[in-house]
Amino acid sequence: MDNIEIYIKIFKALSNPHRLKIFFDCLDHLQAGEESINLAEATCKCQRTKAEELGIVPSTISHHLKELSNAGLIDMRRDGQRVVSRLNPQGVSALSQFLSKLEG
């Protein structure tokens, strides 16, 4: 497998249930037509709700987002006071390619 290290990072990140839920939330927002997510704003607005839903402290959400970014699944960039995020096409493509190998 050419991409074994990439797969290891991706599945390690997604093996955490909180990160998996956050990743699915990102997918839902971005597949709904949004080009990017203002994570700082979204985190401020729903951080307490999301933290309660996940059963974690709000500051931990930032850690999980960073781990998803390190795994190559999302891109994050600072835009002034905001942190904007989007799906990383290469990371999502690698995940899709891995899963397509299981089908065929």
Q: What is the pTM of this model?
A: 0.76
| Token pair 């002034």 in the structure block, residue | 80
Q: How far is the first Cα of the chain from the last one, in angstroms, to the nearest whole number? A: 16
H helix or E strand, kind and range, residue 38: strand 37-38
Can you give the pLDDT at residue 70? Answer: 94
List of domains in the chain: 4-103 (1.10.10.10)
9 pLDDT band, cuts 50/70/90, is very high
Q: Which tens digit of pLDDT belongs to each residue from 16-72? A: 998 898 888 777 766 655 555 555 444 444 445 566 777 777 678 778 888 999 999
